[in-house]
Amino acid sequence: MIRFLTVIIVLLGTVGSIYAVQNPKGFESAKRTALYAVNHYTRRDTRAVEISRTHNGEFALRAKINGVSTPMVIDTGATSVVLTYETAKAAGLPLELASYDVDVETAGGRVRAARLTLDRLAVGKLVELSVPALVVPKGRMKSNLLGMSFLNRLESWEVRPEKLVLHGYP
C-alpha cells in the first residue's frame, strides 16, 4: 500500500511539474484553488466564534462564567479579564476573600482590583478553564471586559470590518 501511494505521489509531482513549466498561469490558478480548498476545509473543523460590531464600534457578546451568562466587551487593551463586582458575585466567586491590591487603569480612572481565577469561561464553542481575572469593587465599572488573559489562549483572533473572529484550537 505504501509503495502504491509513493508511486501516485511521484506521478502527481511529475505531472504537476510538467504542467507548471508548460502553463505557468494555469498552474498558479490551480495552486490558488487547491490552497483555498485546503484552508477552507481545515478552518471548517476549527472552533470559531464570530462577534458582530455594535452600533458604537465595540465587540460585545454574552459569555458564561462558571455557567452564569453575562455580557462582556472585548478589550484587547486589557491585560486581563476584568469583572464587575455584581458579575463576580452572580458567578459565585469568593469575594469575601478578595484582596483589592492590584492597581488598574480603567476608562473611569484608577481603581484597585482583586485577583481571582475563573473555573470556566465560555464564549460560544470556546471554553477555557482556570482563567486569571480581576474583579473591581462594587459600582466602579459598568462593563465586564474580555481581555488578553482569555484572548491569548486562543489559536488566533482577527478583526474584520464589521466583526471579530475568535479561533480556538481544534
b/e for 46-81, b at 16 or more Cβ within 10 A? eebbebeeeeeeebbbebebeeeebebbbbeebebb
Three-state SS at 45: coil
**106 and 78 Cβ atoms separated by less than 8 Å:** no
Show Cβ contacts of residue 155 under 8 Å, excluding neighbours closer than 6 positions.
Answer: 46, 167, 168, 169
According to CATH, the topology of domain 48-167 is Cathepsin D, subunit A; domain 1 (2.40.70)
> What integer pLDDT is reported at residue 46 of this predicted model?
63
Three-state SS at 153: coil
Q: Which residues of the chain, if any, have pLDDT below 50?
A: 45
